[in-house]
Amino acid sequence: MNWKNLMSSARIGDRKENKNANPLRSDFEIDYDRIIFSAPFRNLQDKTQVFPLPDQDFVHTRLTHSLEVSSVGKSLGKNVGAAVIEKYEELSYLTPYDFGAVVGAAALAHDVGNPPFGHSGEQAISDYFLYNTKAQKIKTLVLEQEWNDLIRFEGNAQGFRLLTKNQKQGLRLTYATLAAFTKYPCSSTLLNQDRARKSQKKYGYFKAEESAFCKVAEHLGLYPLSQNENTFARHPLAFLVEAADDICYSIIDLEDGFGLGLVSFEEARDFLAEILGESYYPEKLENIASDKEKIGVLRAVAINTLIHQTSEVFMKHEEEILSGNFDRALTDLIPSASTLEKLSSFSVKRIYQSRQVLEKEAAGFEVIDALLESFMEAVFCKFYNKENYSGRHKSVYRLLPAEVQFKLDWAKSPYESALEITDYISGMTDSSAVKQFRIMKGISLA
CATH number of domain containing 198: 1.10.3210.10
Q: What is the distance between the alpha carbons of residues 174 and 14, in angstroms, rounded to a whole number?
A: 9
C-alpha dihedral over 88, 94, 95, 98, to 10 degrees? -120
Q: What is the distance between the alpha carbons of residues 300 and 298, in angstroms, rounded to a whole number?
A: 5
Q: What is the distance between the alpha carbons of residues 257 and 261, in angstroms, rounded to a whole number?
A: 6
Q: Are residues 416 and 338 in the same domain?
A: no
Considering 351, 366, 399, which residue would you say is the last residue of a domain?
351
Number of H helices, E strands in the chain: 22, 2
How far, in Å, are 9, 90, 100, 158, 220 from residue 4 at the CA level? 10, 8, 16, 28, 9
Considering 236, 264, 298, which residue would you say is the last residue of a domain?
236
Task: Write out the residue range of the structural domain in which residue 303 sits.
Answer: 237-351
Q: Are residues 38 and 87 in the same domain?
A: yes
pLDDT at 21: 60
pLDDT at 364: 86
Q: What is the domain-level CATH number for residue 347?
A: 1.10.3410.10
Question: Looking at the DSSP assignment, which residues form a beta bridge with residue 48?
Answer: 61
Q: What is the distance between the alpha carbons of residues 235 and 54, in angstroms, rounded to a whole number?
A: 35
Q: Are residues 90 and 180 in the same domain?
A: yes
Q: Are residues 292 and 412 in the same domain?
A: no
Q: Are residues 46 and 108 in the same domain?
A: yes
Q: What is the domain-level CATH number for residue 146?
A: 1.10.3550.10
Considering 219, 236, 253, which residue would you say is the last residue of a domain?
236
Q: Are residues 45 and 162 in the same domain?
A: yes
Q: Are residues 384 and 313 in the same domain?
A: no
Q: Coil, strand or helix: which one is 22? A: strand
List per-residue pLDDT tens for the chain, 446 residues long.
999 999 999 997 675 556 556 677 899 999 999 999 998 899 888 876 655 545 555 567 788 889 999 999 999 999 999 999 999 999 999 999 999 999 999 999 999 999 988 788 899 999 999 999 989 889 999 999 999 999 999 999 999 999 998 644 568 899 999 999 999 999 888 877 888 899 999 999 999 999 999 999 999 999 999 867 789 999 999 999 999 999 998 998 888 888 888 899 999 999 999 999 988 888 888 888 899 999 999 999 999 999 999 999 999 999 999 999 999 999 999 999 999 999 999 988 887 777 777 877 888 899 999 999 999 999 999 999 899 899 999 999 999 999 999 999 999 999 999 999 999 999 998 889 989 999 888 876 55
Instruction: State the amino acid at position 247 in one-letter form.
Output: I
CB within 8 Å of 433: residues ≥ 6 apart: 116, 117, 364, 367, 368, 371, 425
Q: Are residues 245 and 286 in the same domain?
A: yes
Q: Are residues 27 and 157 in the same domain?
A: yes
Q: Are residues 246 and 301 in the same domain?
A: yes
Q: Are residues 204 and 170 in the same domain?
A: yes
Q: Are residues 424 and 328 in the same domain?
A: no
Q: What is the count of structural domains for the chain?
A: 3
